[in-house]
Every structure is written in structure tokens, then in C-alpha cells.
Amino acid sequence: MPNNENISISRMAWNFSQINNDTTEIFIYDVIADKQRTDWWTGEKGTEVTPTLFNEELGKVTTPNICIRVNSGGGDVMSAEAIRTAIREKRQEGKNITCKVDGFCGSAAVGIAAACEKISIPSSGYLMIHDPVAFGCGYFSASDFQKGLSMLEKIKEGIINAYAEKTGKDKQEISQLMTNETWWTGEEAVKNGFADNIMFEKSDTEESEGNPENISLLDVSMYRNIPVSLIDRNVVNMAGFSNTKNKKEGVEDMEINTVEELTTACPELVKEIANSAATAERERIQNIENIAPSGYDDIINKAKYEVPVSAADVAMQILQKLRKQGVAYLADVKADIADSGVGNVATSGQEGADGDADPYLAAIDSELPKTN
């Protein structure tokens, strides 16, 4: 087991750290996923927490005590359940596993925390639960939607069971809290049974003692009811844009429902988001233009202005169109050959006058798709 001085920081937001011979800390400071993403341009691996990585590292722990430190907005529910199962199995084997919420514990990350024996959270921390959601892109029938609905309902049932086991709350109450997308401060999380005690009770303003090297921005852009006080914290990433400005007096108590209200309350944040969005859009268009071949203006213009997609998606659409063009070309060649009557020129199985196979017809046949 490596010590603190030898810890590699190549995987920021995801780390194991043996504090001493008694305790090992596990940092979950990023999204939970079934696999690590790979950057399209650099080829670098992402910092996602996956069941495979988690189980590999968990198996290396030799200390009797394990502290899982969380600063994550959740992610893939199935992957989180696999991690949750691994934690419960280690507890059955005799490991003492606790959890500390260093900043934000939301969505699927709550299930991981609930698998631990005890959850500690600072009064200034946050915990959030909501209904499971699914992402879809394409065309779907009513039957498809019904199947998706049934799947989400079944997933929610499993999540409710985990929360009920931790909190002792009625399952119907938990279901409604999830539907409402409920956010709690640290004190509220303890009051509702989702955490067991407050960290730093002597000082409500003291920050979490989590490893600063592992701090990452949290993407909360998919949530509906995020508290305004969390929007203005440094640990928040709204669609990739962070706010590092000082809090504006009175903002924490405001209820913001429109863009205009957000602009009034946090003008610097809105300006930063707008500038960052403009930069990202310029980069997206430039990436598309860098790969755009001639003759595909319909795809290029649609991707740039009508239905915005990434350069990778544009490349895939062009390849698909090339394939269709190739199939159509071969079909046209076959039709032209049939119309020309060239197939009737040979007298016996496409043979020439001397009885040998006609090399011209053989060459044409080699370019045509085989048929039965």
C-alpha cells in the first residue's frame, strides 16, 4: 500500500490514501460511471469512479478501518450499486467502513454513503436525493417509452429500499422526497436520518479537511432544485462553468426562478457562463470546420447552425453518407450492366469466342455484390 508521499496524482478526484497502519481513506471526488471516458483529442483517461477501479483498489486495503470521503454529484446508478455492494461485503468481512461528506453528496453517491456504517457531514455540506433519470436520443415508440418508465420505476424501488434501510423512514415518504428532488444542508441531512453526525460541531464555518489535491468541480447542471447558496460556492460546476466570486449580500435568501433574476443576483456568474459558452461554441464550430471535406455542406451547415453536434458526430454522419453513396453506386452499376444486355454477349457462362472466361465481364462481376 503506497504512503502519502508516493500517491500518484494522475487520477485527480479518484484516490486511495493510507493514512497510517490503522486507516485508509478512499476519495470519491468525481462522477460515478461504468467506465472511464477517454478524451477525444488527447487520449487521456478521465477521473470517473468505476466499480472495476474501486474493487481493485479496495482489495489492496490492509488497514482495519476505511474512511470513504465523498464530494460527488452521483452518476450511473448501477455502477454505484456495485460499489455499494462491495462496501457491504467488506463490512461483513470485518472492515470498519465509515463515510465523510466533504462537500456534496448527491444522487447515486448517497447510496454509496448509505452503505457505510456511519456518515459524517459538515453543517455547510449538502446532500441531495431525486428520482432516477434516463437519457435518450433518437426515435422511440409508445412501447419504448413504457419500457423505459417501467425500468425507472424498478430502479427507484431499489433506491428507496437502500434509503429506508439507512434512515428508517417510510418508503412512501422517501419516494415523495425523491420526486421533489430534495436538498439538505448537513444539519438537515442528520435530522432526516441520511447522515449520523455533524463534522466540526465547534465551528460551523470551518472547512472540510478533505485532501485539497482531490478537489474537483461538481456538475450540477442536470438538477432542477439546486439551492442558490450552492450555486455561488467554488465547488459547483454549472454545465462546465465555475463561480469563484465572492457571495453577494442577500443572495443566499433569494428564490431565483428566471434568467433575469439570476442575472440580478449573480451578474458576474452569468457573465462568466455567457463568455465560457461563447468560447465553447466557437471551438465546436472550429473543430467541425477542421474535419469538413468538400461536398458535404448539408451535413456541415446543419451541425454548425441548426442541430448543434460535436465534430465527432459530424465525422460519423459523413461516414454513414459515404457508405450509402457507395451502396447506391454499386446498385447503379449493376442496373446499367443489366440494361446494356452485356450479360447476353457470352455464349456459355460468360465465355469468350475461344471458350475462355471473358476477362472484362469477370472484372465487372468482381466489383458487384454477391447475390444468391
Whether residue 83 has pLDDT greater than 80: yes
* Per-residue pLDDT band at 161 (split at 50, 70, 90): very high
Q: Kindly report the backbone phi and psi dihedral angles of residue 347, in degrees, each rounded to the nearest multiple of 5, phi listed first.
A: -90, -20
For the entire predicted model, the pTM comes to 0.54
Q: Residue type for 112, please?
A: I
CA separation (Å) from 18 to 1, 3, 25, 101, 135?
A: 7, 6, 6, 18, 38
Distance, in Å, from the CA atom of 196 to the CA atom of 201, rounded to the nearest integer, reads 13
Helix/strand/coil percentages in the chain, nearest 5: 45, 15, 40
- Domains in the chain (CATH in brackets) are 4-217 (3.90.226.10), 227-291 (no CATH), 297-367 (no CATH)
Whether residue 9 has pLDDT greater than 60: no
- Other C-beta atoms closer than 10 Å to the C-beta of 269 total 22
* Per-residue pLDDT band at 143 (split at 50, 70, 90): confident
- Other C-beta atoms closer than 10 Å to the C-beta of 250 total 8
Q: Kindly report the backbone phi and psi dihedral angles of residue 271, in degrees, each rounded to the nearest multiple of 5, phi listed first.
A: -65, -40
Q: Of 274 and 358, which is predicted with more confidence? A: 274
Give mean pLDDT, residues 273-287: 78
Contact call for residues 32 and 49 (beta carbons, < 8 A):
yes
Give mean pLDDT, residues 155-160: 94
Q: Look at the block and give the residue holding cell 454522419.
A: 317
pLDDT in tens, 238-261: 444 333 334 444 444 556 667 777
* Radius of gyration for the alpha carbons in the chain, expressed in angstroms and rounded: 29
Give mean pLDDT, residues 82-106: 95
Share of the chain above pLDDT 70, in %: 71
- Please report the sign of the dihedral spanned by the C-alpha atoms of residue 35, residue 36, residue 41, residue 43: negative
Q: What is the pLDDT of residue 287?
A: 79
CA separation (Å) from 182 to 79, 173, 179, 192, 351?
A: 22, 12, 8, 11, 80
Q: Of 317 and 83, which is predicted with more confidence? A: 83
Q: Kindly report the backbone phi and psi dihedral angles of residue 197, in degrees, each rounded to the nearest multiple of 5, phi listed first.
A: -160, 160
pLDDT in tens, 288-327: 787 777 777 888 888 778 888 777 777 777 777 777 777 6
Whether residue 275 has pLDDT greater than 60: yes
Contact call for residues 330 and 368 (beta carbons, < 8 A):
yes
Q: Of 89 and 225, which is predicted with more confidence? A: 89
Which H or E element spans position 129?
strand 126-129
Q: Of 97 and 257, which is predicted with more confidence? A: 97
* Per-residue pLDDT band at 196 (split at 50, 70, 90): very high
* Per-residue pLDDT band at 334 (split at 50, 70, 90): confident
* Per-residue pLDDT band at 343 (split at 50, 70, 90): low
Whether residue 189 has pLDDT greater than 90: yes
Q: Kindly report the backbone phi and psi dihedral angles of residue 135, in degrees, each rounded to the nearest multiple of 5, phi listed first.
A: -105, 135
Whether residue 284 has pLDDT greater than 50: yes
